[in-house]
Structure 1
Amino acid sequence: MGNRPNRRSFLTLTGVSATAAIAGCSDLNSISQDGSDGDDGSNGPLTIRVQPDQEKLQSLQEDLQAEVEAGETEQAEAQEKLEARQTELTEEAATAYEQAASNDDSISVEDAEAEYGLLRVSAPADSLVEDLQNGEIGGILPAAYYDQYLAQQERQEQQQELQEEVMEQQESENETNESSETGTENESSE
């Protein structure tokens, strides 16, 4: 019974990539029906999101879940492994897409954050929709999403650092309090 909340949080974490992939799908109609194609048939810059290899990620999730259920790995350790490997797979996918785009004259990669699987590109809408349908990309988003997402990640990292500092400070204070209490107990027992 004690594993249920941990298992749920693990499964929630693993579903994040699927949710992120779906996020860009609602913009497909506006891209292909926009009518804002330039003379060369390309839209202005857009943000695309690539996904990690889903088969590798699914296999890893299953392996880690089995390890957690067998008691071989702690939940927190499994989450760390999953996050690290998901980041690696996302970086691989972003790098592969960027390399493929460099060989395609119709696609121009303006910015890329491989760690997050984000690229800001200019490309014909048909090409991006085809890449989405083929699974080469996981979502098509407005250009502004790129900067907004990176700013959000930076804020989250800053908050995480602050939380870690506060926790370290609290631990230090607790250790100081415990040692002073131990010292007081020793004095009173003498």
Structure 2
Amino acid sequence: MESNPTRRRLLQLSGVGATASLAGCSQFDIPGSQDDNGADPQTESEAELEADTEPDSDPEDGITAIVQPDPEALQQLQQEVMAELEEGELDQQEAQMEFQQRQVELISSHAVEFESEMAADDDISVEAGVAQEGALLLDGPDERFMELLRNSEVSGLMPGEEYGRMLEQQQQQQPPVEPDNGGEEPVEDDADGDADAGDEADDGDEDADE
């Protein structure tokens, strides 16, 4: 990838757009909308991608596409939640959680819609994706990526290794999984007990012979 000057130039131009898009999305956050660990919210109702989170190939071989809803949609969402807060339907904490959840749902739905559109594209393939982040790992020709940018189908493009870094951060944020014994008591090794029983049986046979 590094030997391709066209792709390097493409990422230089679009990387700024991707960063600005993510920053533009975060500006609508209500203060305190993240949890105590600073992690993004997870909702049961968020849309899911057909592609797996983990790619089968090296992320560096692809391109990370960032897809975000229109700023107008995010502004409308913020206004709706603020109206509910002002009318007393929600308190401050509830408003933060409501905005947080609906924002993730909006981003996830937009990512799923983009994936569905790319399924009919002969040039672009979706290798992996994280819906709630609006991030998808794509493979395809540079000319098609330029078209996606010109048509505003993606908010920005970044190197594929950025997707790999995002996966590493998510894995670090996940709590360790404790082993599940199923509530069963551990089975003790009874080999010594069997050996003792065998010795006692041998002693009994010797007494009988005498």
The partner residue of 2:134 within 117, 122, 128 is: 117
Q: What is aligned with 1:152?
A: 169
Q: What is aligned with 1:76?
A: 93
Q: What is aligned with 2:49?
A: none
The reply to whether residue 49 of structure 1 matches residue 42 of structure 2 is no
Distance (Å, rounded) in 2 between the aligned partners of 1:155 and 1:17: 25
Partner deviation per Cα, 1:82-116 (whole Å, 9 max, x = no partner):
11111111111111111111111110111111121
The CA deviation at 1:47 is 0.5
Distance (Å, rounded) in 2 between the aligned partners of 1:101 and 1:121: 10
SS in 2 for 1:63: helix
The reply to whether residue 98 of structure 1 matches residue 98 of structure 2 is no
Query: Following superposition of structure 1 onto structure 2, how do residues 1-190 of structure 1 map, counting pairs within 5 Å?
Result: 18-20=21-23, 44-158=61-175
Distance (Å, rounded) in 2 between the aligned partners of 1:18 and 1:75: 27
Query: With structure 1 as the length reference, what TM-score do the two structures score?
Result: 0.56
Distance (Å, rounded) in 1 between the aligned partners of 2:148 and 2:61: 17
Query: With structure 2 as the length reference, what TM-score do the two structures score?
Result: 0.51
SS in 1 for 2:137: strand
The CA deviation at 1:142 is 0.8
Structure possessing the higher radius of gyration over alpha carbons:
2
Confirm or deny: 8 A CA contact 2:21 2:156 kept in the other structure.
no
The CA deviation at 1:153 is 3.0
The CA deviation at 1:145 is 0.7
Distance (Å, rounded) in 2 between the aligned partners of 1:76 and 1:129: 42
Q: RMSD between aligned alpha carbons?
A: 2.8
Amino acid across the alignment from 2:134: G
**Are the structure 2 counterparts of residues 17 and 90 from structure 1 closer, same or farther at C-alpha, using a change threshold of 3 Å?**
farther
SS in 2 for 1:97: helix
Distance (Å, rounded) in 1 between the aligned partners of 2:24 and 2:158: 10
Amino acid across the alignment from 1:145: E
Structure 2 portions without partners, runs of 5+:
1-18, 26-59, 177-210
Confirm or deny: 8 A CA contact 1:17 1:51 kept in the other structure.
no
**Are the structure 2 counterparts of residues 89 and 122 from structure 1 closer, same or farther at C-alpha, using a change threshold of 3 Å?**
same
Confirm or deny: 8 A CA contact 1:47 1:119 kept in the other structure.
yes
**Are the structure 2 counterparts of residues 145 and 93 from structure 1 closer, same or farther at C-alpha, using a change threshold of 3 Å?**
same
**Are the structure 2 counterparts of residues 111 and 99 from structure 1 closer, same or farther at C-alpha, using a change threshold of 3 Å?**
same
Percent identity, aligned pairs only? 38
Distance (Å, rounded) in 2 between the aligned partners of 1:110 and 1:148: 16
